[in-house]
A and B are shown apart, each in its own frame.
Chain A
């Protein structure tokens, strides 16, 4: 069967001064009708750029310098904007990562879909367009299309918005659907639904789908064929079965080896007799949305309801749940970034939940936090050494002593001690996360709260950071509260897991038990939604260990 979309030797130049010359270099692949081709790669691999080139949506300053993009035999490169406009939507449609920003917030969703029909000269009259819109909304599984048509995007959930985007993409029955990380911003249960929907629609309408993702679980779930990209090149392409289970290229092997397995490792022996160093009980936090100025009463949202757990030294408790489940709020209550409205947080038996600033100071040292976003968690205007030393200095250590300690800690987390003199922007995401860990460790805490510490990182870096966290947990006998939405990560690093939903812990148990025999319906739902749960990454060569680190090249003067 001839390909519906062919990309041949595509090369896209980056503007001079970028860290490499080409965003995409000599990329070729063919998309056959009725197949799902996944392009998978880490950030900066050029996978999104490839999709944007097909749609003619490249950002200014990057330029296509060679190759061809043929849609149904016609080259799209170098075509006028008017020609492209005709093709877009009618023959190729695209869905984006952020359903929040991809829809016009000021327009009813029905009108946005009807607009596609209107602009492409389908010759439909208003009533026909309305019928078609309702049809499409029904096809993507949205309830009550007639009512939903009149809603503004803000009234819809993320999953519903993504369904609207898909309906819009389907409006003109395109031959090719390009999906750029369409489920990355969604919760795992919603993600499972959207993936199933894309698969169903693709089969029903005989479309070809180009699916861009960084997640091998999603690939295993949906792909017929897989193309793996690294540094702007396709390093491996082949049937999903083969790429996932018998990868040939070294890079693919490394990526797949880094995917955390859903099967928990054998449980570690825990000292059951040890007294918990951290014990939370009856935690309650209610957010009051402020409104109506001085006297108004805002809406209240109960983010955390009666949460209780305990952690022993040397043990990791995973707190898993979807967005809005209150798991991050619990983390923030434990480190007292938020003040609980009720309940107790006991550190070595002493309740710190109600302590005032001064009384709290000594406990600050004992409970530390690693944050989610490595780019937002370091002050861009302060040198790394100072960032790490600030904590100990605030606790009364001498500055020189604290900075010496910072160098030592950098070595512990696998960075060059010379990093103290540099600014955060000179480091990659993974390195910054190491700095964040060093900062937390500087105070020699007994309890470490890690709030999604790897969710912003690429899979290979994620693996290194997880290994590092596990290593220091053992070495320093830390009690760790590990907050995550990713059950694969939780399976690998946690001794016990607590599942949260709508502010409550619905189930707690040892990791292996919880994965093998989930008791609560919601836990079962979560586990069933993990993408690629039927696929177990093959055991390949030993992956990178956290110690293989080379310090980054020194940046120029500036």
Chain B
């Protein structure tokens, strides 16, 4: 663990990313304390410029606090990012493990199924799914998970294919251990590093997807989100830039931070590759 942290902190960008993400998490947790009122409430005059009135980042077209919107939006973004990624990773591991472990016809069948999902452009597919399910936070999470699992399945399959022919796995077969035990205990722990790295990057992608969906007005109507804020204020971007710029910055900074963390995890979990890259 100490070693892990040492290797991680060698990547300075990753440490900055972690700090930024921590800040975003703290802000989103403290949202009800910072802004006891609902972010949908009108708190000031509409179109108030930032850094001038009571509202630090100004107000939007209906007089709602932009900063409050960003802080509450962080909850939605992080929640969607984490939950949909978890779902996608679990699904991807399950299918990838089965395909990679059994190989042959099973592998063929699962991978053709995976390709079927990969041939549909993911954003369009997600939008269609949300539209069918009717927009809500649950349907957004489900839609994002459904469009994001194929890369996980492919990665896991590849790892399993190569690990399954390793001698320690064969030894487990020879000693009569069950398939489930071999997958969970012998192979999966050895395949985990690249999965963790991929998952961290998927969280960032999921946040972007959610923002895009909300931007199009397909977000959960009851929850404030960054994408919705930008979408709602895009018509007035020339007169009131702050309404879309600040949520936009929030998206950019969060996604960047998560990507940096992903890279740091990669360095920490695959130490040999990282050192070569930096030499």
**Which residues from chain A sit less than 8 Å from chain B, CB to CB?**
60, 293-294, 335-337, 361, 364-365, 367-369, 371-373, 376-382, 387, 390-391, 394-395, 436, 439, 442-443, 557-558
Q: Does B175 contact A394, Cβ atoms closer than 8 Å?
A: yes
- Chain B 174-201 interface mask (CB, 8 Å, partner A; 1/0): 1111100100011001100000000000
Q: Does A391 contact B166, Cβ atoms closer than 8 Å?
A: no
23 CB-based A-B contacts, threshold 8 Å: A336-B174, A364-B174, A365-B176, A367-B174, A371-B167, A371-B171, A376-B166, A376-B168, A378-B168, A379-B172, A380-B190, A382-B185, A382-B186, A390-B172, A390-B181, A391-B175, A391-B177, A394-B175, A395-B175, A395-B176, A439-B175, A442-B175, A443-B175
The listed residue with most A CB atoms (<10 A of its CB), out of B166, B178, B279, is B166
A380-B190, A394-B181 given; A60·B175 CB < 8 A: no
What is the bound-complex CA distance between A371 and B2, given in angstroms?
A: 33
Q: Tell whether B108 is near chain A: CB-to-CB under 8 Å.
A: yes
Task: Tell me, rounded to whole Å, the shortest Cβ–Cβ distance linking B109 to chain A.
Answer: 10
Task: Tell me, rounded to whole Å, the shortest Cβ–Cβ distance linking A403 to chain B.
Answer: 15
A371-B167, A377-B168, A381-B190 given; A364·B175 CB < 8 A: yes
Q: Which of B44-83 contact A (CB under 8 A)?
A: none
What is the bound-complex CA distance between A395 and B178, given in angstroms?
A: 10
Measured CB to CB, the nearest residue on chain B to A290 is B104
Residues of A within 8 A of B173 (CB): 337
The listed residue with most A CB atoms (<10 A of its CB), out of B172, B176, B190, is B176
Q: Tell whether B270 is near chain A: CB-to-CB under 8 Å.
A: no
Measured CB to CB, the nearest residue on chain B to A363 is B176
Residues of A within 8 A of B181 (CB): 390, 394
What is the bound-complex CA distance between A28 and B181, given in angstroms?
A: 55
Residues of A within 8 A of B178 (CB): 394
The listed residue with most A CB atoms (<10 A of its CB), out of B2, B3, B177, is B177
Q: Does B176 contact A361, Cβ atoms closer than 8 Å?
A: yes
7 new A-B contacts at CB < 8 Å, known A390-B172, A394-B176, A558-B3? A337-B170, A372-B167, A376-B166, A379-B172, A380-B168, A381-B190, A391-B175
Q: Does A369 contact B190, Cβ atoms closer than 8 Å?
A: no
Q: Does B176 contact A391, Cβ atoms closer than 8 Å?
A: yes
What is the bound-complex CA distance between A353 and B279, given in angstroms?
A: 53
**Which residues from chain B sit less than 8 Å from chain A, CB to CB?**
2-3, 108, 166-168, 170-178, 181, 185-186, 189-190, 279
Residues of B within 8 A of A436 (CB): 171
Residues of A within 8 A of B189 (CB): 379, 381-382
Measured CB to CB, the nearest residue on chain B to A391 is B175
Residues of A within 8 A of B3 (CB): 558
What is the bound-complex CA distance between A294 and B171, given in angstroms?
A: 31
A371-B167, A372-B167, A557-B2 given; A379·B186 CB < 8 A: yes
Residues of B within 8 A of A379 (CB): 168, 172, 186, 189-190
Task: Tell me, rounded to whole Å, the shortest Cβ–Cβ distance linking A71 to chain B.
Answer: 29
What is the bound-complex CA distance between A395 and B177, given in angstroms?
A: 8
Q: Does A335 contact B174, Cβ atoms closer than 8 Å?
A: yes
Q: Does B2 contact A558, Cβ atoms closer than 8 Å?
A: yes
A377-B168, A379-B168 given; A368·B175 CB < 8 A: yes
A381-B189, A381-B190, A558-B3 given; A390·B167 CB < 8 A: no
Measured CB to CB, the nearest residue on chain A to B108 is A294
What is the bound-complex CA distance between A365 and B174, given in angstroms?
A: 8
Measured CB to CB, the nearest residue on chain B to A60 is B279
Q: Does A377 contact B176, Cβ atoms closer than 8 Å?
A: no
Nearest 5 Cβ contacts at the A-B interface: A391-B175, A364-B176, A377-B167, A371-B167, A394-B177
Measured CB to CB, the nearest residue on chain A to B169 is A379
Residues of A within 8 A of B108 (CB): 293-294
Measured CB to CB, the nearest residue on chain A to B187 is A379
Q: Does A390 contact B177, Cβ atoms closer than 8 Å?
A: yes
What is the bound-complex CA distance between A266 and B171, given in angstroms?
A: 34
Task: Tell me, rounded to whole Å, the shortest Cβ–Cβ distance linking A238 to chain B.
Answer: 40
Q: Does A369 contact B176, Cβ atoms closer than 8 Å?
A: no
Residues of A within 8 A of B177 (CB): 390-391, 394
Task: Tell me, rounded to whole Å, the shortest Cβ–Cβ distance linking B272 to chain A.
Answer: 13
Task: Tell me, rounded to whole Å, the shortest Cβ–Cβ distance linking B51 to chain A.
Answer: 50
Residues of B within 8 A of A390 (CB): 172, 175, 177, 181, 185
Residues of A within 8 A of B168 (CB): 376-380, 387
What is the bound-complex CA distance between A348 and B68, given in angstroms?
A: 78
Residues of B within 8 A of A294 (CB): 108
Residues of B within 8 A of A335 (CB): 174
Q: Does A376 contact B167, Cβ atoms closer than 8 Å?
A: yes
Task: Tell me, rounded to whole Å, the shortest Cβ–Cβ distance linking B32 to chain A.
Answer: 42
Residues of B within 8 A of A372 (CB): 167
What is the bound-complex CA distance between A365 and B171, given in angstroms?
A: 12
Task: Tell me, rounded to whole Å, the shortest Cβ–Cβ distance linking A208 to chain B.
Answer: 35
What is the bound-complex CA distance between A365 and B177, given in angstroms?
A: 11
Residues of B within 8 A of A395 (CB): 175-176
What is the bound-complex CA distance between A368 and B174, given in angstroms?
A: 7
Measured CB to CB, the nearest residue on chain A to B104 is A290
What is the bound-complex CA distance between A558 and B2, given in angstroms?
A: 7
Measured CB to CB, the nearest residue on chain A to B173 is A337
What is the bound-complex CA distance between A34 and B181, given in angstroms?
A: 61
What is the bound-complex CA distance between A379 and B184, given in angstroms?
A: 12
Measured CB to CB, the nearest residue on chain B to A369 is B174
Q: Does A369 contact B171, Cβ atoms closer than 8 Å?
A: yes
Residues of B within 8 A of A364 (CB): 174-176
Residues of A within 8 A of B167 (CB): 371-373, 376-377
